[in-house]
Amino acid sequence: MSWTPHLTDDGSFTFFSAEFGEAFHSQAGAKAEAFTKFAQVTGLAQRSQCGDLRLLDICYGLGYNTAAALETIWAANPGCRVELYGLELDETVPLAAIAPDLLASWSPEVQTSLEAIALNHRHTTPLLQATLLIGDARQTIQHLAQTGFQADAIFFDPFSPRRCPQLWTVEFFAQVVRCLATHGTLATYSRSAAVRTAMQAAGLQIGTIRLDPSHRPREWSQGTVGVLAEPQPEKLAEKLAEQSLHPLSLMEQEHLNTRAAVPYRDPDLSDPAELIQLRHQHEQQNCGWESTSSWRRRWGIDEGDD
């Protein structure tokens, strides 16, 4: 497949997927998004001081989240050793992303890593052991979980729930959480109520990614972070504070009581997107929860911002 680079507002590039009808990254800045919504909110600079880190990049794509993570880690601790797994459906995407013009903004070490990962699906150096697993992430995540791999940080970056519901289900999150270390953090760009309830159902306590100064009017979050649920509720605030996670606002909490919060389901991790969407719509119609339009009116939220 041929991929055409599209320039984003920070000068970095992304691709557009005709299959999913979406770009791989935010038009506001592909590279900036990788740092802001993934590398920074998972605390990689601080975590790198331990000397060893394990990362899981779900929907590896152009490799930007991995690249931002490696840049962040090695800037803070040049001797930190990293073990990385990436999950990707289409191997032509990372291959197209190693064109010289697309790699130019990364350090030489990271450029070399991205090239090797794309070409060989493996890369081993004294500081990096990377493996790219190609195929349906619903299957590859199960194989990875069976190995006992435990990530300090998980970058959760599929296409949007409306375009790719099969990777936002309760069942898929449950498999992903099996690969999250006790002290680890999962980060995603999505603020969807359905995503957040799926994360909770899979055993995560969630927080919001606060807005930066350039946010659009009426936005309320840049995404969601999750940590493994604390069995003692009174210690949750302490745990969130330790990992610099920001609790949901009252508006966001109320969002989780609307029909928009009905999660996607895929019982056998094998259903087509169309069936998952139909099941989701049926559950929404019969859930008896507050309408999302009512919540939007109460909080002055524009149509489609949920």
Q: Which residues lie below 8 Å from residue 210, measured CB to CB, with a gap of 6+?
A: 221, 222, 246
Query: How does the average pLDDT of the chain come out, rounded?
Result: 92
- 139 domain residue, yes or no: yes
> Does 70 fall in a domain?
yes
- Tell me the whole-structure pTM to 2 decimals: 0.94
Please give the average per-residue pLDDT across 83-105, as a whole number: 96
Residue 2: pLDDT band (50, 70, 90) is: confident
- Measured CA to CA, the distance from residue 260 to residue 251 in angstroms comes to 13
Widest CA span in the chain: 56
Which pLDDT score, from 0 to 100, does residue 53 have? 98
% of the chain with per-residue pLDDT over 90: 85
- Most confidently predicted of 19-33, 220-234, 290-304: 19-33
Instruction: Sort strands 16-17 and 22-23 into parallel, antiparallel or unpaired.
Output: antiparallel
149 assigned to some structural domain:
yes
Beta bridge partners of 56: 85, 154
Q: Could you tell me if residue 304 is inside a domain?
A: no
Asked whether residue 13 is domain-assigned, the answer is: no
**Residue 293 and residue 179: Cα distance in Å, rounded?**
36
**How many CB atoms are closer than 10 A to CB 115?**
17
The secondary structure of the chain, three-state, reads: CCCCCEECCCCCEECEECCCCEECCCCCCHHHHHHHHHHHCCCHHHHHHHCEEEEEEECCCCCHHHHHHHHHHHHHCCCCEEEEEEEECCCHHHHHCCCHHHHCCCCHHHHHHHHHHHHHCEEECCCEEEEEEECCHHHHHHHHHHCCCCEEEEEECCCCCCCCHHHCEHHHHHHHHCCEEEEEEEEECCCCHHHHHHHHHCCEEEEEECCCCCCCCCCCCCEEEEEECCCCHHHHHHHHHHCCCECCCHHHHHHCCEHHHCCECCCCCCCCHHHHHHHHHHHHHHCCCECHHHHHHHHCCCCCCC
- 15 lies in a domain? no
Q: Is residue 280 a part of any domain in this protein? A: yes
Q: Confirm whether 236 is domain-assigned.
A: yes
Q: Residue 223: pLDDT above 60?
A: yes
Query: Domain containing 91: what range?
Result: 29-299
CATH number of the domain that 73 lies in?
A: 3.40.50.150
For residue 45, is pLDDT > 70?
Answer: yes
What's the rounded mean pLDDT across residues 228-239?
64
Please count the structural domains in the chain: 1
Residue 213: pLDDT band with limits 50, 70, 90: low
